[in-house]
Amino acid sequence: MIQEILKNHIAIAFKSVYQVDVDSQLIVLENTKPDFDGDYTFVVFAYLKTSKKNPEQTANDIGEFLVEHAKEVQSFNVIKGFLNIVVSEAYWLDFLQSNFQNTCYGLGAKTNQKILVEYSSPNTNKPLHLGHIRNNLLGFSVAEILKANGHEVYTCNLVNDRGIHICKSMLAWMKGSRETPISSGMKGDHLVGKYYVAFDKTYKEEIKSLMVEGKSEEFAEKNAPSILAAQQLLQKWEAGHEETVNIWKTMNGWVYEGFNVTYKKLGVKFDKFYYESNTYLLGKEIVQEGLDKGAFYQKEDGSVWIDLTADGLDHKLLLRGDGTSVYITQDIGTAELKYKDFACERSIYVVGNEQDYHFKVLQLICKKLNKSYAEGIYHLSYGMVELPHGKMKSREGTVVDADDLIDGMLQTAEETTKALGKTDGLAEKDLEVLYDTIGMGALKYFLLKVDPKKKMMFNPEESIDFQGNTGPFIQYTHARIKSILRNASNIDLSNVDTSKISLQKAEKELIFLAFQYAEVIKDAGREMSPGVVCNYVYEVAKSFSSFYHECPILKESNEEQKKLRLQICHMTAYIIKSGFTMLGIHVPERM
């Protein structure tokens, strides 16, 4: 890499000019700011005690040495204590010649690190919604980015298929007409979600009635008939009551069928599914183990707790007095099971930031139980997706349904594409694929380009735009490049006589951006942020747009220059496709 070459030369310069040893690994190079001439900038202020000269003199000394002794350096300029280094055209041309057809360029070498990424984690009492879409796309993309960094990556989905929230849907359904997806004509997960909303409506009415009778709100919430019945249903389920378990299996089966349809639309997949109904008992066993070892304590009502006040937290409930589990119980059991199945050094949980406290507690508990995998637990916390009218609430039915949103995106993609006249010459079957590619690309890119840690406002109208920082703009850029390459398919690009080439500014900028791809993949992996990839690929597409308008390609009269520009096209198309693949986004060949 040119950065390492430059660092070594700078270290040699200090030795030669000032007779001082400088560790090349400690030298920091930054990309030169766009307003200045240069590729990399070396800031000399930290080395003035070494040089015993002022900033400008020090920077000039180092720059002159580099130009004289490093063939990779073409020139330099000094702005105060900032040494801006211009890398030689020969280096960039050689880089392009060596990599424009390299279909693995930028990808990391294989490591020995095994990583498990858990994402989606839906509840079986409602369909997937907009928030779930961000979770699924983020989890899938992070896994792909980690794979691109050379790690051995597995994905899993912990389905929250038991608990009081599941019993709420069950209870409402049992009191209703007991309709099915077939009899109702509804997708299974939508049908079950309908009854979750119905339970909440009834529950709130009961709370109001009790409060009218003079009861406190707290008393009413704990003693409303519906919530008491749901708690009894949960106890019956954990006791293995046959009718209760059968209803639970039937309703969950409807939901799984619905989820699978949505997952297919989103293009996400999992290596393994875990179900809380299978892991909560293991969690209870580990809680007992911790109780026996004195890591936990038991109250008079039989409930089990852990004291985390010494760690800056509070007392955490692990098992209710009636013996039923809480979320943390199941997660303790699942963590143990996941390690037995995959033995991964790192276990990443893609879960919203509302659960930050929960995962601090989980890791602390596993550490106090001396679990070998405790250090590797990592909560990839992301911000919620908000709507113009506020936060989504499933129990109140104020969510943006995932299936409805996807269908709406495809419809918008079709309308926008037709309006822009980008459907000419395509068969109906190809058009359906194109609309899906654009619609899903717009949705995924819009949700992934934002830093995961930040909350975001969803605006579907902004996402499907063929201009600006959007998926369709980048997809259109890829299609344009592929059209150019099809028209130049008879030109041999294997050998270019670089002596007959004068590298233009727009050409160099695009080559320089392409050169950064490997570092971008590393950064995205370190930060576990698909947004790093999104915004880099956008910069590449934007740079190509400038290159396309400033530099004739097929009409270029200099044949060697034409070949060079076609090589740039090849590499740009590869980077867009490769980057978008990590995001789970398809790119069209024609558009």
Instruction: Assign 322 a pLDDT band (cuts: 50, 70, 90).
Output: confident
What is the pLDDT at residue 392? 40
Mean pLDDT score of the chain, rounded to an integer?
A: 92
Residue 53: inside a domain: yes
Residue 2 has pLDDT above 70, yes or no: yes
Its pTM surpasses 0.75: yes
Q: Residue 378: helix, strand or coil by DSSP?
A: strand
3-state secondary structure of 106: coil
Out of 65, 87, 109, pick the residue that ends a domain: 87
Same-domain pairing of 251 and 189: yes
Could you tell me if 332 and 412 lie in one domain? Answer: no
pLDDT digits (tens, 9 = 90+) for 385-407: 876 654 444 444 456 789 988 99
Query: Which ranges of 369-504 would DSSP assign to H, the alpha helix?
Result: 402-419, 428-448, 460-463, 471-487
Give the number of domains in the chain: 3
What is d(CA 486, CA 152) in angstroms, rounded to the nearest whole number?
Answer: 36
Residues 380, 353: Cα–Cα separation, whole Å? 8
pLDDT of residue 393: 46
CATH of the domain at 250: 3.40.50.620
Domain that holds residue 198: 119-396
Assign residue 27 the CATH number of its domain: 3.30.1360.70
The strand order across the sheet containing 73-79 reads 29-31, 40-43, 82-87, 73-79
Evaluate if residue 360 carries a pLDDT over 90.
Answer: yes
Amino acid at 255: V
Residue ending a domain, choose from 38, 68, 87 = 87
For the chain, how many helices (H) and strands (E)? 22, 14
Domain boundary among 67, 87, 107: 87
Q: How confident is the model at residue 422 (pLDDT cuts 50, 70, 90)?
A: low
In a domain, 191, yes or no: yes
- Give a yes or no: residue 10 inside a domain: yes
Whether residue 387 is found in the same domain as residue 418:
no
The stretch 279-294 carries a mean pLDDT of 89
In a shared domain, residues 68 and 196: no
Residue 112 within a domain:
no
**CB neighbours (10 Å) of residue 493?**
17
Q: Is the pLDDT confidence value at 458 over 80? A: no
Tell me the C-alpha distance between 373 and 66, whole Å: 48
What are the Cα distances from residue 339, in Å, to 120, 171, 351, 411, 576?
Answer: 19, 35, 19, 43, 36
In a domain, 114, yes or no: no
pLDDT score for 143 = 98
CA dist 127 and 156 (Å) reads 19
List, for residues 49-72, the tens digit of each pLDDT value. Answer: 999 999 999 999 999 999 999 999
> What b/e readout covers 228-253, taking b as 16+ CB neighbours within 10 angstroms?
ebbbebbebbbeeeeebeebbeebbe
- Around 39, how many Cα atoms within 13 Å sit in the side-chain half-sphere? 23
Q: Are residues 338 and 458 in the same domain?
A: no
pLDDT for position 528: 96
Same domain, 347 and 299: yes
3 state SS of 77: strand
Let me know if residue 98 belongs to a domain. Answer: no
Same domain flag for 388 and 436: no
Are residue 182 and residue 285 in the same domain, yes or no? yes
Whether 471 has a pLDDT exceeding 70, the answer reads yes
Whether 358 is in a domain gets the answer: yes
In the sheet with 297-298, reading across from the earlier edge strand, the strands are 297-298, 304-307, 315-319
Looking at the structure, tell me whether residues 435 and 328 fall in a common domain.
no
Task: Give residue 33's pLDDT.
Answer: 93
Question: Using one digit for the tens of pLDDT, what is the confidence trace for 274-284?
Answer: 998 888 788 88
What are the tokens at 191? 């049908």
Q: Are residues 411 and 388 in the same domain?
A: no
| Residue 26 one-letter amino acid | L
Read off the pLDDT of residues 515-531 as tens digits, 9 standing for 90 and up. Answer: 999 999 999 999 999 99
Mean pLDDT to the nearest integer, 358-371: 95
The rounded distance, in Å, linking the Cα atoms of 323 and 320 is: 5
Domain identity same for 277 and 163: yes
* CB of 582 closer than 8 Å to CB of 148: yes
pLDDT the model gives residue 461: 65
According to DSSP, the β-strands at 114-118 and 315-319 are unpaired
Q: Give the whole-angstrom CA distance, residue 57 versus residue 53.
A: 6
408 and 388 fall within a common domain: no
Residue 589 within a domain? no
Q: What does the pLDDT read at residue 389?
A: 53
Instruction: Provide the CATH number for the domain around residue 486.
Output: 1.10.730.10
Rounded to an integer, the average pLDDT of 281-307 is 92
